[in-house]
């Protein structure tokens, strides 16, 4: 995180609700880096993780992912 902050990609600030924590937020420049990296990242995940899976593996992964899905509202 320190390197990202030094590059101007994130800003850190104390959590307003609990000072023991720090909140990190992407800057506009950081968001641009994420957007630029996304296509390469998606291709790599597909090639290395998804493409080797059989149809049965993909269906199992989808079932597992559905069980693990948590929305922020579920944590409140």
The per-residue pLDDT for range 2-28, each reduced to its tens digit, is 999 999 999 999 999 998 999 999 999
Q: Which helix (H) or strand (E) holds 12?
A: strand 10-14
Query: Is the distance from CB of 10 to CB of 27 less than 8 angstroms?
Result: yes
Write down the pLDDT at residue 67: 84
Count CB neighbours of 45 within 10 A.
11
Query: Is the distance from CB of 12 to CB of 19 less than 8 angstroms?
Result: no
- Listed residue (59, 12, 9, 65) closest to 33, CA to CA: 9
Predicted structure pTM score? 0.65
């Amino acid at each position: 995180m320190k390197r990202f902050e030094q590059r101007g990609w994130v800003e850190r600030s104390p959590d307003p609700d609990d000072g023991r924590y720090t909140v990190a937020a992407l800057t506009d420049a950081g968001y641009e880096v994420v957007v630029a990296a996304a296509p390469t990242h998606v291709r790599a995940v597909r090639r290395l993780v998804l493409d080797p899976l059989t149809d049965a593996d993909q269906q199992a992964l989808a079932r597992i992912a559905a069980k693990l899905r948590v929305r922020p509202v579920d944590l409140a």
